[in-house]
């Protein structure tokens, strides 16, 4: 029997928040950390500092200035893969194999801009196409994935349930909670019958948020958040998840990301 703890976090620049990464490691001690928006091309990524924090195994798919995903691990891994969807090499999806048989995917779905119209807003069109592209691939290869142990996590930039946002009716026309985005994310989740573990531990109608806007200085008082960060597991891993946490205190740290880490504990 062995356990491991997984964290996913949109760090919003690894170099700016290196001290906060160390704080996360000290306070929650994840075995594996999936980061999104690392915003550092490979030659600028702080490999030595991350190893000093306690993560010797690093998988990185990044580019200059924006996007970028990384998997930091105390556990050795293999089979690193980088994926490009919708014909774009934009450093949004990486995967590795942990413990020999668990495939871990770290995904950063595009934010989609401000206008929820794929005709008027090409960023929104890209977001929808990105989700469709992955879903279609997994649907077409569904038999290949049957029975496999798979975890996907990251900043999905969609709050799918009514109580994943502070006001369902008010946000129905706001990017991240529009019906068309929710439909696309649902297709992605159903492509391999993934289980949204947040709602296994905290069923609706409990309010759950992992993101609070920088534009809202009174975020703790009014709590106008959204659940944009997710951990899903394939059916073969459903019974291995023993704990789930949204680490809200991280939003109070000095120079925080607008996202907080989301963690899950697994027992094998």
Q: What is the pLDDT of residue 2?
A: 79
Whether the ω angle into residue 205 lies within 30 degrees of 0, i.e. cis, is yes
Q: What is the pLDDT of residue 71?
A: 98
Q: What is the pLDDT of residue 214?
A: 96
Structure tokens at 44: 């600028």
CA distance 93 to 201: 26
Q: Are 6 and 72 in contact (CB under 8 A)?
A: no
- pTM metric for this prediction: 0.97
Is residue 158 predicted with pLDDT exceeding 60?
yes
Considering the domain delimited by 3-267, tell me its CATH architecture.
Answer: 4-Layer Sandwich (3.60)
Of the pLDDT bands very low, low, confident and very high (cuts 50, 70, 90), residue 56 is very high
Let me know how long the chain is: 268
Look up tokens 């929710």; give the residue: 182
Average pLDDT in the 12-32 region? 98
Average pLDDT in the 213-228 region? 95
Q: What is the pLDDT of residue 152?
A: 98
| Domain extent listing, the chain | 3-267
Of the pLDDT bands very low, low, confident and very high (cuts 50, 70, 90), residue 169 is very high
In a 3-state reduction of DSSP, which class is residue 71? strand
Q: Is 47 exposed, middle or buried (0-12, 13-18, 19+ CB in 10 A)?
A: middle
CA distance 91 to 36: 10
Of the pLDDT bands very low, low, confident and very high (cuts 50, 70, 90), residue 1 is low
Average pLDDT of the residues of the chain: 97
């Amino acid at each position: 029997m062995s356990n491991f703890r997984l964290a996913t976090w949109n760090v919003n620049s690894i170099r700016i928040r290196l001290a906060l990464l160390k704080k996360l490691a000290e306070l929650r001690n994840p075995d594996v950390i999936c980061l999104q928006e690392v915003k550092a091309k490979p030659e600028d990524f702080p490999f030595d500092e991350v190893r000093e924090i306690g993560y010797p195994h690093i998988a990185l798919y990044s580019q200059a200035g924006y996007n970028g995903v990384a998997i930091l691990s105390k556990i050795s891994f293999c089979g690193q893969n980088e994926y490009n969807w919708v014909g774009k090499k934009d450093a949004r999806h990486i995967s590795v194999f942990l413990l020999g048989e668990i495939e871990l995917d770290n995904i950063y779905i595009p934010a989609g801009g401000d206008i929820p119209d794929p005709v008027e807003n090409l960023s929104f069109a890209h977001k929808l196409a990105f989700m469709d592209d992955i879903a279609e691939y997994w649907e077409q290869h569904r038999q290949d994935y049957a029975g496999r142990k798979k975890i996907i996590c990251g900043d999905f930039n969609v709050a799918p349930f009514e109580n994943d946002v502070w006001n369902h009716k008010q946000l129905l026309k706001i990017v991240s909670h529009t019906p068309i985005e929710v439909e696309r994310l649902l297709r992605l989740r159903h492509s391999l019958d993934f289980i949204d573990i947040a709602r296994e531990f905290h069923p609706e109608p409990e309010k759950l948020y992992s993101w609070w806007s920088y534009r809202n200085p009174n975020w703790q008082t009014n709590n106008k958040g959204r659940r944009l960060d997710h951990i899903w597991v394939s059916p073969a891993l459903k019974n291995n998840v023993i704990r789930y946490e949204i680490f809200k205190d991280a939003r109070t740290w000095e120079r925080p990301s607008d996202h907080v880490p989301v963690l899950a504990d697994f027992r094998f």
